[in-house]
Amino acid sequence: MIQLRLIDTADLQSAESLYIASFPPEERRPWSQIADTASEPALYGLYDGDNAFAGFITVWIFGAFAYVEHFAVDPSKRGGGIGAKAMAELRHMLGVPVVLEVEPSDHPDPMAARRIAFYVRCGFTLLDYPYVQPPYAPGLPSVPLCLMVSDTALDPSDISATLHTKVYKQAD
């Protein structure tokens, strides 16, 4: 069993450590922006059957879709289906199509292809659309990524424009 709920304050430090360990600097916003419960993105904790912290998901909600900015499961709890259950629960809870970014399958990190396969098993489709994540902060690089969607009726150019302006605060 997995529970997905707004993160417990007591688990913020564990979530921050997992965040830093799971994402390279160019794919991270400042943790203070994530931990700020008064603004987006929403920070959901993943809790296992013993109510122990198992990971987190950050989500932005827009009119036509929701965007999963970051998703990580504690390495000690991977492989037991927690991630797939959490993604299914999130999709059900949100009730709108979900969008996420992934590294291209030919990325040097062998986990990139595994992540794509995981999301495909969760019902997502990899879009054939040129996409670049703008830098999170001055001095950080843009990152060539791919978009995945739970509903292929979404327009990738609309997704890109929304993410660039609302998430990354870039003029598109």
Query: What kind and span of H or E run contains 90?
Result: helix 82-94
User: What CA–CA distance (Å, rounded) separates 96 from 150?
Assistant: 9
pLDDT in tens, 39-78: 899 999 999 988 999 999 999 999 899 999 999 999 999 8
CA dist list (Å): 138 to 32, 78, 143, 166: 17, 34, 13, 17
Q: Are 172 and 161 spatial neighbours (Cβ–Cβ below 8 Å)?
A: yes
Mean pLDDT (the chain) is 93
Read off the pLDDT of residues 151-171 as tens digits, 9 standing for 90 and up. 999 999 999 999 999 999 887
- Residue, of 105 and 88, whose pLDDT is higher: 88
Sequence-separated (6 or more) residues with CB below 8 Å from residue 26: 135, 136, 140, 141, 143
Cα–Cα distance list, 117 to 34, 60, 103, 138 (Å): 27, 23, 12, 32
What is the percentage of the chain residues whose pLDDT exceeds 70? 99
Q: Amino acid identity of 3? A: Q
> Counting every residue, how long is the chain?
172
Query: What pLDDT score does 109 carry?
Result: 84
pLDDT score, position 69: 97
The DSSP call for residue 95 is -
Work out the pLDDT band at 172, boundaries 50, 70, 90. low
Q: Which residue ranges form the domains of the chain, and what is each CATH number?
A: 3-167 (3.40.630.30)
Provide the whole-model pTM.
0.94
**Predicted local distance difference test score (pLDDT) of residue 88:** 96
pLDDT for 106-153, tens place per residue? 888 888 899 999 999 999 999 999 999 999 888 899 999 999 999 999
